[in-house]
Chains A and B, each alone.
Chain A
């Protein structure tokens, strides 16, 4: 398994703030990283794949960057609707692994 670690585990910010979440892989995964958003009581939703490709319909305030072992998800201007837990997932190997999640609060 390729272990994934996210930080911070919880993040509190104000509406309009720029928010950054970090995901680290134990070994290089090139750019094979996805990000998901999960709101309370709902299924996860794909935001970004291949580190920086925005899934169709996802607002442009979400962006991803990184390669190798370090990646970031950035929300350029935090909105009330962005309150959720965010997960990274490596998709270099057939058996994907998720990070532990980052809860974003306002």
Chain B
């Protein structure tokens, strides 16, 4: 069965950098997009962006463009979400998920990782 396993919880200070990961297995990782979704404490789901591991084509939601960086290493079936300078408002659970869809339209997520809690506090 398809699995997405995310890295563990992180506690960071404002201004620090961070890279969290999501490893896919039991499917052809490089041939499917992979996406990231934010969930702030007690709030709803927010689409951050997606990447196609085979060629690293990336699309960001306008709200997250320039705020985070999404990358992937297809040789180890792993996608990443990275911050160069964290803020307290980045405190949230971050999910990776596999987008699927029909060519010419958008994507929905059929498999999800377990989530990574990122806490940013001084």
A contact set with B: CB distance below 8 Å: 1, 32, 34, 36, 38, 43-46, 49, 55, 87, 89-101
Determine whether the beta carbon of B101 is less than 8 Å from that of A98.
no
In the complex, are the beta carbons of B61 and A1 less than 8 A apart? yes
Decide if the interface of chain B is mainly helix, strand, loop or mixed: strand
Interface, chain B (partner A; CB < 8 A): 37, 44-47, 49-50, 59, 61-62, 95, 97, 99, 101, 105-110, 112-115
A87–B45 CB distance below 8 A: yes
How many pairs of residues, A versus B, come closer than 8 Å at their CB atoms? 68
Judge whether B115 and A95 touch: CB under 8 Å. no
Q: A44 contacts B106, CB within 8 Å? A: no
* Cβ-defined contact, B106 with A94, below 8 A: yes
Chain B residues, CB < 8 A from A32: 105-106
Is A43 touching B47 in the complex (CB atoms < 8 A)? no
Please tell me if the beta carbons of A91 and B105 are within 8 angstroms of each other in the complex.
yes
Residue from the set A46, A93, A95 with the largest chain B CB neighbour count within 10 Å: A95
CB distance from A96 to the nearest CB of B (A): 5
The answer, among B44, B62, B95, B106, for a CB contact under 8 Å with A91, is B106
Indicate which residue in A44, A92, A94, A100 contacts B109 across the interface (CB closer than 8 Å): A44
Chain A residues in 8 Å Cβ range of B44: 87, 98-101
Judge whether B106 and A90 touch: CB under 8 Å: yes
Given contacts A95-B47, A97-B47, A98-B46, contact A45 B112 (CB under 8 A): yes
